[in-house]
């Protein structure tokens, strides 16, 4: 495991962009995350693209998760998030960007997503972490999940993410890649910032490996890079 502790969110985002850029230039398949943490990274990648330093035209992206039951055009959907923070701002071919569809036949969608990940193995997976240690939307549980599946969101996740849902009811379910699929990425970058993540990041990186803290499985990955600010990484 490599750990980069940067002074603040801006520098951690710049560092993350420098690590991710070569994967983009070489046309790899990149697993993408949402949440507030990677927004700075996406901003830095947009800057590099506008400066003609990186070219998104050959990459494929596979997002971790999506809420169940949101309207296709909902501003709270992860498709909308990805379009507005990255895809609409760079020269990516949107036909090469994949996000689970949280509407319609969910069993079929889970199968479609599993096949997609098999067809396009993930070279680099970008992750954030929830306050309860979730990655993607894999909530604490009795076992590590394997494939794409539908989850009931926990109270901790509902409380943390409800800030994004003003005037719209927050969904109680989501569709997410499984832990084994995340783990199968050749390389993983875990991004973390802010004091409020310090305890969970210590548990995830230094505590026992347990599905009660889903991110703890990352301790076993052979190419994990953690990039964070001093507040989040103060205990590791
Ligand atoms: C959501 C996403 C996760 C993300 C988490 C943390 O639950 N499904 O992929 O890591 O939020 O969000 P934030 O970065 O806003 O703390």
Q: Which two tokens stand for residue 39?
A: 């927004």
pLDDT at 183: 98
pLDDT at 168: 81
**Ligand 1 pocket member 6 (CB < 6 A):** no
Expressed in angstroms and rounded, the spacing between residue 55 Cα and the centre of ligand 1 is 26
**Ligand 1 pocket member 15 (CB < 6 A):** no
**Ligand 1 pocket member 33 (CB < 6 A):** yes
State pLDDT tens for residues 78-118.
999 999 999 999 999 999 999 999 999 999 999 999 999 99
pLDDT at 200: 98
The parts of the chain modelled with pLDDT lower than 50 are: none
- In order, the DSSP letters of 52-105 are TS---TT-EEEESEEESS--TT-TTSHHHHHHHHTGGGTT--GGGEE----SS-
**Ligand 1 pocket member 67 (CB < 6 A):** no
Alpha helices, H only, the chain = 9-25, 39-50, 78-85, 106-119, 155-161, 179-183, 198-206
For ligand 1, atom 13, the nearest C-alpha belongs to 35
pTM beyond 0.75, yes or no:
yes
Expressed in angstroms and rounded, the spacing between residue 192 Cα and the centre of ligand 1 is 10
Active site residues: 65, 132, 134, 139
Expressed in angstroms and rounded, the spacing between residue 8 Cα and the centre of ligand 1 is 19
**Ligand 1 pocket member 37 (CB < 6 A):** yes
């Amino acid at each position: 495991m490599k750990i980069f502790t940067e002074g603040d969110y801006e520098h951690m985002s710049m560092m993350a962009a420098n690590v991710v850029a070569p994967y983009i230039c070489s046309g790899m398949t990149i697993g993408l995350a949402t949440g507030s943490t990677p927004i700075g990274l996406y901003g830095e990648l947009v800057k590099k693209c506008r400066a003609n330093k990186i070219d998104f035209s050959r990459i494929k992206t596979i997002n971790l998760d999506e809420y169940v039951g949101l309207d296709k055009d909902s501003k709270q959907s992860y498709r909308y998030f990805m379009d507005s923070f990255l895809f609409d701002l760079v020269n990516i071919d949107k036909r090469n960007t994949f996000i689970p569809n949280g509407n319609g036949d969910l069993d079929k969608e889970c199968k479609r997503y599993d096949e997609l990940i098999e067809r396009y193995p993930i070279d680099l997976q970008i992750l954030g972490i929830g306050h309860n240690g979730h990655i993607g939307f894999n909530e604490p549980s009795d076992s590590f999940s394997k494939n794409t599946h539908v989850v009931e969101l926990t109270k901790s996740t509902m409380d943390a993410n409800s800030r994004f849902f003003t005037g719209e009811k927050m969904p109680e379910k989501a569709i997410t890649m499984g832990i084994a699929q995340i783990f199968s990425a050749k390389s993983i970058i875990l991004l973390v910032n802010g004091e409020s993540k310090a305890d969970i990041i210590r548990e995830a990186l230094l505590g026992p490996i347990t599905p009660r803290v889903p991110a703890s499985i990352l301790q076993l990955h052979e190419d994990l890079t953690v990039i964070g600010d001093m507040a989040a990484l103060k205990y590791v």
